[in-house]
Amino acid sequence: MLTDEKFTPHSAFLSEVELCERFKVNVATARKAVRNLEEEGLLYKIHRKGTFVSPPSRNKLILFVTTSRSFSTVGRVTPVASKYPTFQWLELPVDDLRPIMADIRHVFPRLKGVLFVRDLPGCIDVIRGVQTQGIPTFFYGSEAHTPFLDMTHSLLYRESEMSAMVMDHLKACGCRNIGFLGTDELVVFSARHEFFRKWMGENGFQIKLANVINLPREILFDPRKSFDEVSRRLKAKDFDADGIFCANENCSAVFVQAATALGIKIPTRMKVAGIEDDGIITERIYPQPTSVRIPFDEDVRESFRILTELIDDDEAITRRWSKHYLIKRQST
């Protein structure tokens, strides 16, 4: 229908009522059809004006595959995506992609590439499924996700270097009894815990189990439950850490809040440092935690740019590395 002469680029498309009358379908069906055409880049909407036909240059689609609907890259990618007018992109949770894998080229006929964004456990089958249909893939995330590294192009951040940077900083600040806050139930956090233990051994530090707080996965991202558990551990008589390595910004925030509520002076009594994505959480609390920052926004945009260049290129699997840096704040 879109090849009809009257549907020229940027011309108005049929309204839902017109679609219902022309094809004898109900409103829900018409609305879904329009939404599908929008997702494929064939149509676009202008608020309060209507739906219009996209120019041919917008017909290349890239899927951004994320962990869930709650994890979004939309705002982060828009600034760079707009610089590539030949591409449109659509965000899709991995659990929504898996059921349509066998029919993905039919569902998205203009699909040119798939970018897998961050910690996607159990999606190796999805990556392989996409690749078997000749669709280029790219993975952005941690080097800890070793199964992905040899099967797709990637941009990775180094867990070992970031963890060492945090620990070296705590040591330089005079900490001699360093603890850890995170979980062993997530690949990346487990890797950071492993590097923490390795660094402690290599630098002659003793690991005291009472100073290692591994939160259960089910409460890790629940601020109230995490706060209660960290508070409970801080009250224990055998907790005597003078420095804490926090696995991510959520951990840094909850630790600072719990310690402050208990009257523990930071950084006088205890110093806090960790790893963060963008500082949105850590910059809202006081004292602000010192962190090694992963340039997440820049990395996602760079991944998008690289994937657009790889679409028509059959080069061998490439691995690129993210650049992280230490941001010193009040907690140390």
Q: What is the pLDDT of residues 292-302, one digit of tens each?
A: 999 888 888 88
Hey, what are 316's tokens? 């061998």
Specify the pLDDT at position 297: 82
**65 beta partners:** 92, 116
Mind listing the pLDDT tens digit for each residue in 118-156? 766 667 788 888 888 888 888 888 888 776 677 888 999
Pick the CATH number of 159-293 from 1.10.10.10, 3.40.50.2300, 3.40.50.300, 3.40.50.1700: 3.40.50.2300
Helices (H) and strands (E) in the chain, counts: 13, 14
Q: Do domains 57-157+296-324 and 159-293 have the same CATH topology?
A: yes
Q: pLDDT of 55-109, one tens digit each?
A: 655 567 788 887 755 556 666 666 666 666 667 777 778 888 888 888 887 778 7
Which pTM does this prediction carry?
A: 0.77
Q: How confident is the model at residue 187 (pLDDT cuts 50, 70, 90)?
A: confident
Q: What is the DSSP letter of 86?
A: T
CA 104 – CA 98 distance, rounded (Å): 9
Q: Enumerate the domain spans of the chain.
A: 16-56, 57-157+296-324, 159-293
- Three-state DSSP at 2 gives coil
Task: Name the strand (E) or helix (H) holding 60.
Answer: strand 60-66
The residue with greater pLDDT, 311 or 29, is 29
Residue 176, pLDDT above cutoff 80: yes
CATH H-level superfamily of 57-157+296-324 = Response regulator (3.40.50.2300)
C-alpha distance across the termini of the chain, in Å: 64
Burial class (CB in 10 A: 0-12, 13-18, 19+), 124: middle
Query: What is the pLDDT, as a whole number, of residue 61?
Result: 76
pLDDT at 201 exceeding the cut of 60: yes
- What is the mean predicted confidence (pLDDT) over 256-267? 96
Question: How sure is the predictor about 253, in pLDDT bands with cuts at 50, 70 and 90?
Answer: very high
What pLDDT shows up at residue 318?
83
Contacts of 163 by beta carbon, 8 Å cutoff, 6+ apart: 191, 192, 195, 196, 199, 245, 275
pLDDT digits (tens, 9 = 90+) for 1-59: 555 546 777 788 888 998 999 889 999 999 988 888 877 667 877 777 788 887 655 56
62 or 195, greater pLDDT: 195
What percentage of the chain exceeds 70 in pLDDT?
87
Question: For the chain, what is the mean pLDDT?
Answer: 85
Strand order in the sheet with 111-117: 87-93, 60-66, 111-117, 137-142, 153-157, 319-321
Helix (H, G, I), strand (E, B) or coil at 235: helix
Confidence at residue 206, expressed as pLDDT on a 0 to 100 scale: 92
> What pLDDT does residue 71 have?
58
Per-residue confidence (pLDDT) for residue 69, from 0 to 100: 53
- Asked whether the CA dihedral 146, 245, 282, 251 is positive or negative, the reply is positive
